[in-house]
Amino acid sequence: MESWIILSIAAAAFQTLRFMLQKHLSMGALSAGGATLARFFYSAPFVVALVFGYLTLQGVAWPEYSGRFWIYAVAGGLSQILATWCVVALFAERNFAVGITFKKTEVVQTALVGLVILGDRITAAGLGAITLGLAGVLILSETPGLTGRWWRRFANRAALLGLASGAFFAVSAVGYRGATLEIASADPLLRAGLSLAVVTVMQALALSLWLMWREPGQVGRVIAARRTAVWMGLTGMAGSLCWFTAFTLQNAAYVFAVGQVEVIFSLIASVLFFGERITRREGWGIALITLSVIAVVALR
């Protein structure tokens, strides 16, 4: 089995653990912004220490990188902040597994963005796969118990947050892959680690300043929640390092395709840890989206 496949599966597992911790913290201890900050705030020290330790052990200097590295890194970092914020906010709207499945529309959206920005053509079979995913999104976006005009059942906060998170994660993946490729090194782990360190530090600083301005006291709550949040930082670091390294080895769309195992992991977490039940409608929606994102990558 190729290393990027193993890394993608490991990244999905670590990411599921991190989202579980973020949902736990966002259910009372922290706001959506605070839970998002905790992910970066407690990852940054570990990532920086890991990178400098790796450089020391390998006996190599900090490699050179182009000016485009910063464009990719900033775009990817900002998109990831917004994507994570959307996912955490989504947890308050729907259950854990459905929230993660909404997020996984990132693969479908990557195909659409590629068509608009890069001119990548979509075959008839590929268009059919995207339509299948759209059907799954519509099924998931119908909020149980909501009555009234038909459009209110689909045009709701949960659907918008889920689709937005997928779009932002798609942009961040492309940005991170671009950043790793701008570093002058043949070592994929070094390129991934350096990119991750720079991005995570920027994210922690930027989001801390934002919350100090918009949500006074939230940064203090993030520090107070350190006993739980530190584990979120560790799992976040491990997951991101796996994603970044996989991006240096393979196209982001294929990495995301393998990462769909996160849907299975989230279902297990939803039932075993949060005591949530998956309805038949939600099960069909999850199945359709999962089939769709796999088909899009296979048929594009």
Please compute the mean of the pLDDT values over residues 251-261 and round it to a whole number: 75
Amino acid occupying residue 294: I
CA proximity to 108, closest of 165, 155, 156: 165
pLDDT digits over 192-239, tens only? 999 999 999 999 999 999 999 989 989 998 898 888 788 888 888 898
Residue 275 CB-density burial (10 A; 0-12 exposed, 13-18 middle, 19+ buried)? exposed
Q: What are the residue ranges spanned by the domains of the chain?
A: 3-299
Residue 35 CA: distances (Å) to CA of 19, 30, 189, 234? 10, 6, 28, 14
* pLDDT value of residue 118: 47
pLDDT-above-70 percentage for the chain = 75
> Residue 150: is its pLDDT beyond 60?
no
* pLDDT value of residue 38: 83
Residue 104 CB-density burial (10 A; 0-12 exposed, 13-18 middle, 19+ buried)? buried
**What radius of gyration, in Å, describes the C-alpha atoms of the chain?**
19
Place of tokens 């600083």: 205
108 within 8 A of 292, measured Cβ to Cβ: yes
Token output for 153: 């059942």
205 within 8 A of 103, measured Cβ to Cβ: no
pLDDT-above-90 percentage for the chain = 17
190 within 8 A of 63, measured Cβ to Cβ: yes
Q: Residue 125: which residues within 8 A CB-CB, separation 6 or more? A: 295, 299
How many other CB atoms are there within 10 angstroms of residue 220's CB atom?
A: 12
Amino acid occupying residue 213: W
Please compute the mean of the pLDDT values over residues 45-61 and round it to a whole number: 90
pLDDT digits over 109-134, tens only? 776 766 665 465 566 766 676 677 66
Q: What is the pTM of this model?
A: 0.76
36 within 8 A of 203, measured Cβ to Cβ: no
* pLDDT value of residue 177: 83
